[in-house]
Structure 1
Amino acid sequence: MRSFLRAAVPRLAAACALAALGLVDLWLGEFSGQGGVRLPWAVAAVAVALCADRPGPRGLPVLAVAQAAGAAGAWWATRHDQTAGMPFTLSATAALLGVLGLLTWRGDPRWTAVTAPVLAVSVLVQPLRGDGDDLRTAVGVLVLVLGVALAATAGLAARLTAAARTRQLERARAAQRAEFARDLHDFVAHHVTGIVVHAQGAAAVAGRDPELVLPALREIERAGTEAVDAMRRAVGLLRDDDRAPGLAEVPALVERFRRTSGLPGGLDLLGPFADVHPTASTAAYRVVMEALTNAREHARGATAVDVALHRTANGIAIRVTDDGRSVPGHPVPGRPGGFGLRGLRERVAAAGGTLSAGPAPHGGWVVEAGLPVGAGVGEEA
């Protein structure tokens, strides 16, 4: 119903305006004269103008040519008419200008470049009459030049605005696709890393202690189930941004890491966090998740992983540390080429925060991030 009204109201307003101009033409005696051509031409021009939005981008140029041909025929039939008060009818001219504006707005660009000038010329020649009144002709041409310029400018402005909006939507969709790719990488990589670690552990103890293989397989099964759930949540983010995990899910994330990795670790939460913006809350969760994933995958010989989230005067401070060593032959999490950390920096920057990662002074690795409590830079933009 709303879409019907949105389409019907402008058409009804245009019909009322053209009908009012037709009454003015009737009052001025514009429909009297040679052969009675002006009245049927005005009615036809108005009717076509009211339906001009239906043919589509490729049909509009054809309709414009038909309008131009009709205007040329009406002009030719009445070019020697001395009985009309004005050299052109208001209603038919307004209908032609309306089609011209719609053509420059929605018409196919290639054909519009050819047909719009033809329609404009058909409007401008209307004052050229055979009565020899140069002053009236000049005034009429100037008035119509102004009308043509306004109609073409309005249509072109609407076309440029629509094109800018389309580009903006395309950029937003591209950003959403990149965001989804990062989400999917973060969620799945976190759980798949746990599966790989348990599989390697099961393979290492299978020969000397087969009884430990069954618990490892159960952990692999649990990690696989969690990975599937994570993928479903990631896909769900495309439909509902409110389902994105945030600071409230960090304790469960750390507990799951302890269970699947076998590494002890501490969690230090110093709130409150209730007023944290969802963008910052989600970014904080991703920082912790990526840091834990990197610790489990790259921190060789680690004995503990500690997570600290503190509410500060400036926002949220996040610090994740481990005491391990990087695995030879594997990329160090902070070095260039790591997709997870690079994407994480982009996410944190979009939330208005900063991220750093590197070796700790006394060994191990440290990931630190600072996030604002309110909407970030990317959110405000």
Structure 2
Amino acid sequence: MLSLLLRRRSSWVRGVLVCLGVAAVGTVLALALAVDYRSGVYESALAQQVRLSAAAPFLVVPVWGLRRSRVGPRVLAAAGGIAGAVSLGCSAWMRVAADQGEWSAGRADAYTLFEISALIVVLALTVRHGAAWPAAVAAVALCAAVVLRPVAVEMSENSLLVALFCAFGVCAALVGALVARLVAVERRRHTEQVRLEQRLAFARDLHDFVAHHVTGIVVQAQGAQVVAASRPEMTTSALGQIEQAAAEALRALRHMVSGLRTEAALVPAGDVEQLRSLVADFALPGGGRARFLQEGPVASLPAAPMVVVHRVVMESLTNVRKHAPGSRKVSVTLRVHSGTAELDIVNDQADTGADTAGYGLIGLEERVTAEGGTFQAGPADQGQWRVSARIPVSSVWRDLP
């Protein structure tokens, strides 16, 4: 609820700022139009060229509503380029007309401040929202149109000063628009990165938790089919275990889906008791069991390394159940000392058939190394299969995946 209120407040603040910005720009354009009108530029001998040039900035208005569509950025940039080209053409026309006629000294008033202000606004919009390369070309035309307009009629000290101030305005508009564009690009990149990380986290959670329970369901169902004919009384127990595993899988799914809708963690971190229960409930069709051994202050293990330990144990037991169902002994040893959590999962069948390049082991290695630890999985001595993880306790850089 708090995050929703903050987002609504942020959206309201952005709306207010946009309205204030539009009002400020509109005020500047109206004042510039009033100054031009009082100077008599629209009633001078250059009035025809001035009116045509002043209409150039309005070429961008019809396509403003299309800026969010696929063709919008290109159309917006094209309209900005056309506005700059029309203004440059009118400036050249005014220069030719001024050279041919006898005009009073007041012809220097053909600065058309309204057009200059409007072109600066069009420049900012084109650079901020236009397509990259068309916007660059349009920006060159717009900058030239703004800077050259004051000196279009005659070259004087006043016109050069106005051109200098126009250059400052163009630079400010370019810098502001480029910064806004780069910020928007960085925001989109960050959003895509966060979305990718969430997808990877969800995929790992789906594999680590749901696949563990589903694998148990499959193994229990296969075992029930085998003993159904010879020992039907054991079928009831197998069905109960299948029901329990299915309920756990549904619970994990619900938790992950709720995690996608909220800011909560996708899966619970777990603790030592849950880890001990996970190992105690592990069973193989051939009767093999797993035992849990601990050394050191395991109960004081922080949440971040405990999450990694829980995932490594779950994935390792799932691999044993899938690839080594004939194992008789599986040991899970967790040692905590010297600021390091050492985890070893060993079963008595080295030829498990597990693919060391599979998604599960790759995901475990990524998660362990992300916490600053090391991960190894492969055959060990005496025909065993060992999974080892060394996870720092105090130097983890994040608490949850």
TM-score range, shorter chain: 0.7 to 0.9
Conserved 8 A contact 1:299-1:364:
no
Structure 1 residues 108-257: aligned runs within 5 Å: 108-109=131-132, 111-133=134-156, 135-239=157-261, 240-248=263-271, 249-257=274-282
1:161-218 CA distance string (max 9 Å, x none): 3223322322332232122222211122212222232233223323332332332233
> Which of 64, 74, 77 is the matching residue for 2:80?
64
Secondary structure in 1 matching 2:381: coil
Distance change >3 Å, CA 20–CA 173, structure 1 → 2 = closer
Secondary structure in 1 matching 2:265: helix
Distance in 2 separating the partners of 1:307 and 1:146: 71
> Which of 379, 394, 398 is the matching residue for 1:359?
379
Secondary structure in 2 matching 1:242: coil
Identical counterparts, % of pairs: 34
Residue 341 of structure 1: how far off its partner (Å): 0.9
Residues 1:312 and 2:332 are matched in the alignment: no
> Which of 17, 20, 43 is the matching residue for 1:12?
20
Secondary structure in 2 matching 1:257: coil
Letter of the 1:325 counterpart: Q
| Match in the other structure for 1:271 | 297
Residues 1:289 and 2:314 are matched in the alignment: yes
Distance change >3 Å, CA 53–CA 354, structure 1 → 2 = farther
Letter of the 1:268 counterpart: Q
Conserved 8 A contact 1:246-1:281:
yes
> Which of 7, 32, 35 is the matching residue for 2:39?
32
Secondary structure in 1 matching 2:204: helix
| Match in the other structure for 2:346 | 321
Letter of the 2:14 counterpart: R
Residue 252 of structure 1: how far off its partner (Å): 3.2
Distance in 1 separating the partners of 2:399 and 2:184: 23
Conserved 8 A contact 2:29-2:118:
no
Residue 87 of structure 1: how far off its partner (Å): 6.2
Distance change >3 Å, CA 81–CA 267, structure 1 → 2 = farther
**RMSD (CA atoms):** 4.2
Distance change >3 Å, CA 97–CA 193, structure 1 → 2 = same
1:7-44 CA distance string (max 9 Å, x none): 32244156447747976997x88841233579999999
Letter of the 1:64 counterpart: G
Letter of the 1:296 counterpart: R
Residues 1:349 and 2:372 are matched in the alignment: no
Residue 344 of structure 1: how far off its partner (Å): 0.8
Conserved 8 A contact 1:321-1:367:
yes
| Match in the other structure for 2:5 | none
Secondary structure in 2 matching 1:127: helix
Secondary structure in 1 matching 2:153: coil
Letter of the 2:222 counterpart: Q
Distance change >3 Å, CA 168–CA 35, structure 1 → 2 = closer
Letter of the 1:118 counterpart: A
Letter of the 2:259 counterpart: L
Residue 118 of structure 1: how far off its partner (Å): 3.4
Distance in 2 separating the partners of 1:104 and 1:187: 48
Distance change >3 Å, CA 99–CA 272, structure 1 → 2 = farther
Distance change >3 Å, CA 219–CA 24, structure 1 → 2 = closer
Residue 340 of structure 1: how far off its partner (Å): 0.8
Distance change >3 Å, CA 308–CA 232, structure 1 → 2 = same
Distance in 2 separating the partners of 1:236 and 1:20: 50
Residue 95 of structure 1: how far off its partner (Å): 3.7
More moved, 340-349 vs 262-271: 262-271
Letter of the 1:192 counterpart: V
Secondary structure in 1 matching 2:289: coil
Distance in 2 separating the partners of 1:110 and 1:102: 14
Distance in 2 separating the partners of 1:193 and 1:16: 65
If the length of structure 1 is used for normalisation, what is the TM-score?
0.77
More moved, 89-98 vs 1-10: 89-98
Distance in 2 separating the partners of 1:137 and 1:111: 30
If the length of structure 2 is used for normalisation, what is the TM-score?
0.74
Distance in 2 separating the partners of 1:11 and 1:49: 19
